[in-house]
């Protein structure tokens, strides 16, 4: 074991590592090395003789858990590290439920439904209950059920709560409680849990079986939690219960990076830690090792505007770095052009990789413009939050067979696999199977295995087809609990007919699907080799338990690595890039208009901005457009209020001749000056201010035909006066001209809006 690991830490980190007894709150600013502190704290416990099996470490991504375990292994040994209970909340609680779930009526081989499985089941229930799916939308209902579960509200409690019933009636969904009740019953019958059930059922297990709780309280002498600010009420309670016996709990997080309230995260968990553990120790990690001093200082001036926070002074000892560039565009199309051009230029001039760049936006819909402009410049890119590898149809098809092999009572897997590849089992037959199962209160699988008993429902030809499917599944299930996952997966790909189905395809799309199947088998091979090396189970059930809990950050392909990253600011948390572009910095986009009526929500939006800025290592760039298309209409925009909150010494404005926050809209009406606060006016006052004329001269200023301009032309602008066209770029209708004006310097104008007049 490496003995000088403490030499790798600064004094604040060292204190957070060596003070292992009792409750500890480690507030870690962005880039302050929290993962290193968590890792070394575990190493320090192991060095003091604490058995690895007595340590529980909870994270939010498999990637974080894997990185920590790899670091620990390098310092201690694999033989010791393998016994640590380390993983995501969901993976650790799933492990406990597989061992203890029979007390709640579940079999150990239960399936974990992902969000698409849940919505598919909800969609079926809506149809069965003859509800209007335009009112009872599966996505809305799924979110409502998820919120209830994360607040420990079961379906029976939900139905008995008058306030929830009143809310549902006001939302025109008075039967939502029935949908929830049916959904919970169907999951239970299918021996399946969704993600939220893993937390809810762990809470129920610990509540109803004190002996089980005592067993795990005794097992875990030390509990460590990463990203504590992101925990919801359900996670908070489990952690509190597990730490109650020994009270050796260490939580690491940053209240300034609490951005997931829409998922149920409660910032109160970290802010009120001191109330739960009165004798706690507080450690602050304030040195940022990631970013330049300019980026860190700018981020500090952003978050200083929030009232609800734990005070800290984050600083950087890195280079001062360049000022943050604020890019102004006339339209959203020009914004895409500006950002893509800047990336292209920096990549070449600084000899960087495409992967050094990230474009962050508030909403997924904003990606389109940047995708188009990146494509035009042949810049490779990837989108986080798009269709992940495991969401592709061909992958979900083969995974459905894997699930049936492990748990044939899985309704959603049965639906997906029973007639793929085609066996002549139509939708009507499948509907009859499920209706009969519901009427007899049995599983659809039991109907299939005894289809001959139901001659009044299925003719002899249909029975034969159903039995053929049953035989395929039963044959594939043989020795599944002892066979290596890769061998069994290959057997299923062949035995199900999927490999032959995909191999026969000739179109590029079909060839791609076949290649994806090959890639899946490669992934399973890697899994089995890793599991065998670590002394862990390498059977198919273990692989599926791992896959069910993967996140986007866990499924990055090798081919995706040298590409510009496009993602929402929420998705960027935990990542870092040399150059970060934060786009759409307008009050109609960011902060989100939905947060404008709530100080609490506005503070979370500001924390989101803080997170986005602190992803940057070398340089951050902010971008906004003065006009943006909405529902086909070009509407004017005001730059985000967040830009006004940053200390101006950290910003530079190349598009406005170095003048901060000047709102240069080149249409004839003048828009609100950036330094003015549009939100301090009522609607009528704002409209008057936005449209007031620039000049008292009643003679209208008429521009020349934009197609007539050439480089070197002398031109006149209503507002900026005379100038010379230095360059013209782009194609109509997005042609831009760089004009050197006599008084206001160089400006880049979109010709169709600029109203330039030849002199």
Token digits of residue 606 = 């500001």
Q: What is the DSSP string of 443-505?
A: -HHHHHHTGGG-TTTS-HHHHHHHHHHHHHHHHHHTTTTTSBHHHHHHHHHHHTSHHHHHHT-
Strands 714-717 vs 287-288: parallel, antiparallel or unpaired = unpaired
CA dihedral 535, 222, 86, 118 (to 10 degrees): 130
Q: Is 98 a catalytic residue?
A: no
Q: Which residue has the tokens 């599966």?
A: 138
Pick from 367, 254, 146, 140: nearest CA to 608: 254
Token digits of residue 242 = 């597990």
Q: Is 226 a catalytic residue?
A: yes
Strands 616-630 vs 633-636: parallel, antiparallel or unpaired = antiparallel
Q: Is 227 a catalytic residue?
A: yes
Pick from 92, 94, 73: nearest CA to 533: 73
Pick from 26, 36, 46: nearest CA to 68: 36
Q: Provide the H-helix boundaries in 305-459.
A: 332-349, 367-376, 393-406, 411-417, 427-440, 444-449
Q: Each residue of 206-228: b (16+ CB within 10 Å) or e?
A: beeeeebbeebbeebbbbbbbbb
Q: Considering the candidates 312, 346, 403, 615, report the single residue annotated as catalytic.
A: 615
Q: Considering the candidates 35, 293, 449, 735, report the single residue annotated as catalytic.
A: 35
Pick from 313, 340, 310: nearest CA to 327: 340
CA dist 174 → 163, 168, 177, 323 (Å):
12, 5, 7, 55
Distance of alpha carbon 578 from alpha carbon 568, whole angstroms? 17
Residues with Cβ within 8 Å of 466's Cβ and at least 6 positions away in sequence, in order, are 425, 429, 433, 448, 451, 458
∠ CA 398-402-406, nearest 5°, is 165
Cβ-contact 673, 663 below 8 angstroms: yes
Q: Is 34 a catalytic residue?
A: yes
Distance of alpha carbon 127 from alpha carbon 182, whole angstroms? 12
Beta-sheet strand order (sheet of 757-758): 745-750, 736-741, 721-729, 714-717, 757-758
Token digits of residue 169 = 């009636």
∠ CA 210-211-215, nearest 5°, is 115
Q: Considering the candidates 39, 229, 257, 287, report the single residue annotated as catalytic.
A: 257
H or E stretch at 716: strand 714-717
Token digits of residue 317 = 């000892």
Q: Considering the candidates 100, 168, 196, 227, report the single residue annotated as catalytic.
A: 227
Q: Considering the candidates 194, 226, 356, 617, report the single residue annotated as catalytic.
A: 226
Q: Considering the candidates 13, 34, 636, 748, report the single residue annotated as catalytic.
A: 34
Q: Is 21 a catalytic residue?
A: no
Cβ-contact 113, 105 below 8 angstroms: no
- Cis peptide leading into residue 421 (ω within 30°): yes
Cβ-contact 150, 233 below 8 angstroms: yes
∠ CA 602-608-614, nearest 5°, is 140
Q: Is 605 a catalytic residue?
A: no
**DSSP 8-state code for residue 631:** T
Cβ-contact 381, 360 below 8 angstroms: no
385 phi and psi angles, rounded to 5 deg: 90, 0
* Residues belonging to the active site: 34-35, 226-227, 257, 615
């Amino acid at each position: 074991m490496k003995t000088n690991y403490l030499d790798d830490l600064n004094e604040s980190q060292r204190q957070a590592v060596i003070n292992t007894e009792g409750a500890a709150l480690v507030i870690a600013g962005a880039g302050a090395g929290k993962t290193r502190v968590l890792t070394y704290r575990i190493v320090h416990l192991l060095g003091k003789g604490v058995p690895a099996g007595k340590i529980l470490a909870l994270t939010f991504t498999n990637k974080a858990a894997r990185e920590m375990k790899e670091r620990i292994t390098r310092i201690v040994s694999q033989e010791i590290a393998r016994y640590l209970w380390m993983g995501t909340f969901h993976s650790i609680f799933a492990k406990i439920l597989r061992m203890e779930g029979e007390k709640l009526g579940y079999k150990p081989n239960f399936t974990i439904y992902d969000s698409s499985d849940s919505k598919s089941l909800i969609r079926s229930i809506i149809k069965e209950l003859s509800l209007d799916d335009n009112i009872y939308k599966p996505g809305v209902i799924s979110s409502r059920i998820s919120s209830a579960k994360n607040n420990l509200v079961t379906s029976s409690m939900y139905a008995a709560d008058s306030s929830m019933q009143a809310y549902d009636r006001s939302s025109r969904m008075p039967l939502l409680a029935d949908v929830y009740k049916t959904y919970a019953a169907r999951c239970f019958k299918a021996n399946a849990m969704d993600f939220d059930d893993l937390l809810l059922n762990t809470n129920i297990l610990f509540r109803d079986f004190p002996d089980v709780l005592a067993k795990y309280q005794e097992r875990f002498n030390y509990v460590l939690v990463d990203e504590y600010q992101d925990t919801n009420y359900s996670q908070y309670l489990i952690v509190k219960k597990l730490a109650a016996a020994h009270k050796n709990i260490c939580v690491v997080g940053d209240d300034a990076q609490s951005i997931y309230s829409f998922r149920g995260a409660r910032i109160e968990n970290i802010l009120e830690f001191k109330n739960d553990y009165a004798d706690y120790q507080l450690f602050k990690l304030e040195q940022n090792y990631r970013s330049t001093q300019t980026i860190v200082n700018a981020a500090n001036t952003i978050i200083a505007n929030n009232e609800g926070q734990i005070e800290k002074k984050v600083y950087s000892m890195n280079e001062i770095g360049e000022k943050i560039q604020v890019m102004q565009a006339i339209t959203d199309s020009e914004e895409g052009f500006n950002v893509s051009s800047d990336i292209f230029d920096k990549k070449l001039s600084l000899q960087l990789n495409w992967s050094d760049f990230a474009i962050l936006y508030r909403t997924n819909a904003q990606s389109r413009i940047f995708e188009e402009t990146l494509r035009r410049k042949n810049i490779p890119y990837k989108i986080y939050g798009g269709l992940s590898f495991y969401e592709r149809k061909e992958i979900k098809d083969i995974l459905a067979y894997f699930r049936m092999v492990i748990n044939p009572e899985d309704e959603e897997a049965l639906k997906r696999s029973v007639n793929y590849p085609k066996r002549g089992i139509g939708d009507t037959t499948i509907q009859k199977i499920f209706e009969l199962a519901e009427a007899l209160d049995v599983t659809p699988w039991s109907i299939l295995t005894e289809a001959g008993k139901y001659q009044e429902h299925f003719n002899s030809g249909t029975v034969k087809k159903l039995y053929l499917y049953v035989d395929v599944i039963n044959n594939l299930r043989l020795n599944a609990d002892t066979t290596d996952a890769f061998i069994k997966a290959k057997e299923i790909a062949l035995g199900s007919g999927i490999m032959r189905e995909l191999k026969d395809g000739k179109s590029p799309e079909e060839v791609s699907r076949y290649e994806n199947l090959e890639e899946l088998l490669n992934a399973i091979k890697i899994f089995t080799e890793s599991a065998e090396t670590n002394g862990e189970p390498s059977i198919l059930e273990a692989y599926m338990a791992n896959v069910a809990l993967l996140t986007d950050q866990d499924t990055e392909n090798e081919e995706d690595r040298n590409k510009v990253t496009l993602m929402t600011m929420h998705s960027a948390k935990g990542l870092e890039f040399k150059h970060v572009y934060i786009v759409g910095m307008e009050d109609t986009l960011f902060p989100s208009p939905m947060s404008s009526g709530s100080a609490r929500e506005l503070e979370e939006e500001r924390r989101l901005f803080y997170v986005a800025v602190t992803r940057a290592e070398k340089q951050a760039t902010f971008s906004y457009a003065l006009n943006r298309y909405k529902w086909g209409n070009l509407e004017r925009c005001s730059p985000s209020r967040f830009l006004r909150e940053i200390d101006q010494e950290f910003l530079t404005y190349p598009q406005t001749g170095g003048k901060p926050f000047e709102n240069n809209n080149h249409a004839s009406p003048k828009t609100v000056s950036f330094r003015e606060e549009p939100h301090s006016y009522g609607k009528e006052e704002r409209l008057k201010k936005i449209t007031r004329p620039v000049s008292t001269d009643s003679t209208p200023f008429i521009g020349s035909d934009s197609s007539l301009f050439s480089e070197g032309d002398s031109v006149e602008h209503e507002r900026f006066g005379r100038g010379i066209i230095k360059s013209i770029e782009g194609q109509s209708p997005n042609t831009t001209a760089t004009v050197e004006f006599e008084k206001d310097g160089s400006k880049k104008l979109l010709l169709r809006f600029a109203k330039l007049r030849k002199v």
